[in-house]
Amino acid sequence: MRTLSLPLALTARISPVLVLAGAGWALTSGPAATPAVQKDPTPQSAAESPSGTSTAAAVKQYAAAPAPCASMSAATIKSLVPGAKTAGKEIPSTDTALRRTCSWNALKGYDYRWLDVSFEITESAEAAAKSYKENISEKSGGGSVPGVGDAGYSVVNLATEDKQQTREGVVMIQASNALVTVTYNGSDFESKKAPSTDEINKGAIKAAKEAVAALEGGQKA
């Protein structure tokens, strides 16, 4: 694949994806409307979590959100977002103790990838479970992510704008009183096609597992 500097024509082609990626950031920052997209089936057949709520009433709750840019290993960033600076960029937050997000994005050749990892700390496991249920109810068409936190959900969507496809995966995890949200999307500006559902889904879940591990290794109340 050719690696070129960004001519004006290519910059113009990137614009729709940057808009969609911005929508991905809005999702990790809080409830946001999702643009009309074609639903992709997610390649998951695992059974749903028993209740979708926290069963860890006696487990210590998380006191603060971990440093989000340190939640992903350099190897993971190089794999999921080729060409991105592994340090990432933390998004400003009004309360970094409760809500923190890091973003990585890069265009390598004609392949574009964007990854957001967000942590939100709520007052209780019950509050986190309620917020988790509300969030997944707005993202129909996905499936459960077993074995990560107390409850997990993944959904992949395909959007097309000006004949350019972008596929985006969102993984939401509830772990005690914490919520972890990963948004991962990509486009190919040479073919105008998007990465496969499997690639985006597996990438988002990989990042979510690593983010939850970082959360569990951090500070607890």
Quote the domain boundaries for residue 172.
8-43+54-216
Domains in the chain: how many in total? Answer: 1
CB-CB contact of 197 with 167 (8 Å)? yes
* Domain-embedded: residue 178: yes
Q: What is the DSSP letter of 220?
A: B
Asked if residue 128 belongs to a domain, the reply is yes
Mean pLDDT of each 10-residue bin along the chain, 221 residues long: 38 41 37 40 41 47 94 97 97 92 97 98 96 92 95 98 97 98 98 97 98 83 46
pLDDT of residue 11: 41
Taking a C-beta distance cutoff of 8 angstroms, is the pair 172, 152 a contact?
yes
Domain membership flag for residue 49? no
3-state secondary structure 101-122: EEEEEEEECCEEEEEEEEEEEC
Residue 84 included in any domain: yes
Amino acid code (one letter) for 182: V
In a domain, 2, yes or no: no
